């Protein structure tokens, strides 16, 4: 059975998911060893999911939903549980993001939505504060899970302005970097994803000290999320959101066209081929 570590744990979606995983296995009459054989996942790993020590990746939940016949319940609980891995302000933004129809973003680093798993692992492990292997893998899983936004139905319409600086700071491993550039190019070929590069030649601009995300909902309302190195601010006041929309439009006008951006990134990838 799952043992809660605190009252806060007991109220979290992650704890609810862990309890449900444990309950379903026990109700099915399976041992951990039997479930491991059937699901093709390590027994210790499955145990840690049931105790809430680890947060799984989406394919694991899909497999367990199939085994238990729970019609997507575990995937839905997992979607809530992975929000626990993010800071409060960003967690609120992600809840809105899940309901949004359109996302526009300016970023000075490779955004999580476009990262490969290997590149995400490098990025997250390079943080100033050391983290454990378990925490690193949990954060990678949460970041990869967010990419489901690009595959939902109907898909989220995405436009990303990627600062050239992000493309000039390669990962230490040449293959990881080449795969990452290839991933961005593949994403840009999607009919609902547009990627533009903001070249150094565009000069100084008002968003240099952070990243900006803009969301549009089905009812026409919009919000902005401004993120710095160690902080984030969710902006919902319409007049303030409008100002950030104008700032974003100016960057879009200064960026390379989607076609020229793809040519630029394709050359970088070719130059980086291991």
| 223 and 100 belong to one structural domain | yes
Q: pLDDT > 90: what percent of the chain? A: 57
Mean pLDDT over 201-212 rounds to: 89
Which strand (E) or helix (H) includes residue 180? Answer: helix 174-188
Of residues 274 and 163, more confidence is placed in 163
Q: What is the DSSP string of 12-58?
A: SHHHHHHHHHHHHHHHHT--HHHHHHHHTS-HHHHHHHHTTSS---H
| 120 and 215 belong to one structural domain | yes
| 138 and 42 belong to one structural domain | no
Which pLDDT does position 6 carry in this prediction?
43
Here the CATH number for the domain that contains residue 222 is: 3.30.870
Domain assignment of residue 201, yes or no: yes
Mean pLDDT over 13-31 rounds to: 91
| 96 and 43 belong to one structural domain | no
| 265 and 196 belong to one structural domain | yes
Domain assignment of residue 254, yes or no: yes
pLDDT tens, position by position, 173-191: 999 999 999 999 999 999 9
Q: Which residue, of 34, 53, 83, is where some domain finishes?
A: 83
Which pLDDT does position 186 carry in this prediction?
97
Q: Which residue, of 67, 83, 99, is where some domain finishes?
A: 83
| 57 and 141 belong to one structural domain | no
Q: How far is it, in rounded angstroms, from Cα 70 to Cα 141?
A: 22
Q: How far is it, in rounded angstroms, from Cα 202 to Cα 208?
A: 12
Give the CA angle between residues 12, 14, 18 to the nearest 5°: 120
Here the CATH number for the domain that contains residue 29 is: 1.10.260.40
Domain assignment of residue 233, yes or no: yes
Range of the domain at 32: 7-83
Domain assignment of residue 1, yes or no: no
- State pTM to two decimals: 0.70
Choice among 44-48, 259-263, 270-274 with the minimum mean pLDDT: 44-48
Phi and psi dihedrals of 151, rounded to 5? -120, 5
Number of domains in the chain: 2
Of residues 246 and 45, more confidence is placed in 246
Whether residue 104 contacts residue 159, with contact meaning beta carbons closer than 8 Å, is answered with: yes
86 has a pLDDT exceeding 60 = no
| 69 and 186 belong to one structural domain | no
Q: How far is it, in rounded angstroms, from Cα 147 to Cα 185?
A: 15
Domain assignment of residue 2, yes or no: no
| 131 and 199 belong to one structural domain | yes
Which pLDDT does position 234 carry in this prediction?
84
pLDDT tens, position by position, 215-270: 999 988 899 998 876 567 888 888 899 999 999 999 999 999 999 999 999 999 99
Q: How far is it, in rounded angstroms, from Cα 115 to Cα 235?
A: 25
Which pLDDT does position 9 carry in this prediction?
54
| 120 and 242 belong to one structural domain | yes
| 29 and 109 belong to one structural domain | no
| 79 and 92 belong to one structural domain | no
66 has a pLDDT exceeding 90 = yes
Q: What is the dihedral of CA 63, 67, 72, 77, to 10 degrees?
A: -80
In the 8-state DSSP scheme, what is residue 136?
H
Phi and psi dihedrals of 178, rounded to 5? -60, -45
Which strand (E) or helix (H) includes residue 67? Answer: helix 58-68
Q: Which residue, of 83, 108, 135, is where some domain finishes?
A: 83
4 has a pLDDT exceeding 50 = no
| 151 and 128 belong to one structural domain | yes
Q: Is beta strand 157-163 parallel, antiparallel or unpaired with respect to 193-198?
A: parallel
- What is the torsional sign of CA 225, 227, 233, 237? negative
Selection from 4, 147, 5, 143 nearest residue 85 by Cα: 143
Read off the pLDDT band of 195 (50, 70, 90). Answer: very high
In the 8-state DSSP scheme, what is residue 99?
T
3 has a pLDDT exceeding 50 = no
138 has a pLDDT exceeding 90 = no
Which pLDDT does position 168 carry in this prediction?
94
Domain assignment of residue 187, yes or no: yes
Of residues 129 and 268, more confidence is placed in 268
């Amino acid at each position: 059975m799952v043992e809660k570590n605190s009252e806060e744990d007991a109220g979290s979606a992650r704890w609810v998911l862990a309890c449900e995983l444990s309950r379903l296995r026990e109700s099915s009459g399976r041992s951990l060893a039997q479930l491991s054989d059937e699901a093709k996942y390590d027994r210790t790993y499955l145990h840690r999911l049931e105790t809430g020590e680890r947060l799984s990746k989406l394919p694991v939940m899909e497999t367990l939903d199939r085994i238990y016949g729970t019609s997507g319940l575990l995937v839905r609980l997992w979607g809530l549980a992975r929000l626990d891995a993010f800071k409060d302000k960003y967690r609120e933004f992600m809840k809105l993001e899940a309901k949004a129809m359109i996302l526009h973003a300016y970023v000075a680093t490779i955004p999580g939505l476009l990262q490969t798993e290997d590149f995400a692992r490098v990025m997250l492990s390079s943080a100033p504060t050391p983290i454990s292997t378990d925490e690193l893998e949990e954060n990678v899983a949460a970041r990869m899970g967010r990419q489901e936004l690009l595959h939902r139905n109907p898909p989220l319409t995405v436009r990303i302005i990627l600062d050239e600086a992000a493309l000039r700071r390669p990962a230490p491993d040449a293959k990881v970097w080449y795969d990452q550039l290839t991933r961005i190019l593949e994403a840009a070929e999607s009919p609902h994803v547009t990627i533009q590069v903001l070249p150094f030649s565009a000069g100084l601009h008002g968003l240099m000290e952070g990243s900006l995300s803009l969301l549009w909902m089905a009812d026409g309302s919009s919000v902005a999320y401004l993120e710095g190195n160690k902080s984030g601010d969710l902006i919902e006041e319409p007049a303030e959101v409008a100002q950030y929309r104008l700032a974003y439009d100016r960057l879009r006008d200064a960026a390379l066209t989607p076609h020229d951006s793809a040519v630029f990134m394709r050359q970088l990838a070719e130059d980086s081929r291991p």
